[in-house]
Amino acid sequence: MKYQFLIENKTYHEGILAEHGLSIYIETEERKILFDAGASDAFSLNADRMGIDLSQVDLAVVSHGHSDHTEGFPLFSRINSAAPIYMHKNAFRLSHGFSDGKIEEEMSGIRWNDEVKRAMEDRIHFTDGPCWITDNIVISGTIPYAEGFVPSEKFYYYNLDGHPVEDDMSHEQCLVIREEEGLCVFSGCSHRGVISALNAAKELFPGEQVAVLVAGMHLYVADNQTRAALIEELAGADIGRVLPVHCTGMEATCEIKARLRDRCVIAGAGDTFHGSQG
């Protein structure tokens, strides 16, 4: 398996763009997959510069319904005329962040207009529970909460009556790929918890070890105690390589690297990895 970061918050490569978002191109023996499409069309520019032909992608996965993972999909659907796009049935909630005791005005959810949605509707496959692409590739659907998980950030959406409802982030899903060396788990923001995503992967493939975890862990707003506890859980988990990306935050990423050492790999836009290598 090969996976390449089309978009991430940082880059170490001249000529490659970075933004607050995530997009990963994944190539297995069975399928070519686009996991998320960043916050703009920059993922496509980077793909061109990295020699990746997005028209040849077999399927796309939307990790969850937030704009920093989805704004590139309208362009992708024009570049690639055939690949189905798998997203959760609740992904179109018009979520807003919550800070300073109030709901933020700026919408953090998917920002496609009605015309774009109509143009893409035949391509979209809505998920709920696990969606098996092959015997070795599965999209988790809603990730069950791990015991004791408390989200580090809240989101709200407005129901049909115009009343705010806390978003349970049921539209967050992970992609799990079984390779010879073990499971490769891709999680966009882990709004339901990165340990929850790991548990979901292990339930989908009982008895299998996790070779690679690539995850935004949403720790940039977590308090010190929460962050330290999660890092200890990761350190004690049987994972070959951990790549903390995107919303993990630089401080938490540095702490994960210090604790996991060689088991933690720092990745940015333009980087390419093979199998369980880091």
Give me the domains of the chain, ranges plus CATH numbers.
Answer: 2-274 (3.60.15.10)
Residue with tokens 């008895």: 207
Residue with tokens 């070519």: 32
The answer to pTM > 0.95 is: yes
In the predicted structure, residue 124 carries a pLDDT above the cut 80: yes
Contacts of 166 (CB under 8 A, 6+ apart): 154, 155, 156
Burial class of residue 20, CB neighbours in 10 A (0-12, 13-18, 19+): middle
Predicted confidence band of residue 242 (pLDDT cuts 50, 70, 90): very high
CA gap 117, 4 in Å, rounded: 27
In the predicted structure, residue 120 carries a pLDDT above the cut 70: yes
Residue 272 vs residues 12, 98, 240, 268: alpha-carbon distances, Å: 12, 35, 17, 9
Q: Which two tokens stand for residue 230?
A: 């999660």
In the predicted structure, residue 221 carries a pLDDT above the cut 90: no
Predicted confidence band of residue 277 (pLDDT cuts 50, 70, 90): low
Q: Which of 5-9, 26-30, 32-36, 217-221 has the lowest mean pLDDT?
A: 217-221
142-157: average pLDDT: 91
215-238: average pLDDT: 93
Please report the pLDDT score of residue 143 as a whole number: 96
Asked if residues 35 and 63 have their Cβ atoms less than 8 Å apart, the reply is yes
Asked if residues 8 and 245 have their Cβ atoms less than 8 Å apart, the reply is yes
DSSP β-bridge partners for residue 212: 184, 241
- 123 CB neighbour count, 10 Å cutoff: 17
Predicted confidence band of residue 278 (pLDDT cuts 50, 70, 90): low
The rounded mean pLDDT for the chain is: 95
Please report the pLDDT score of residue 148 as a whole number: 85
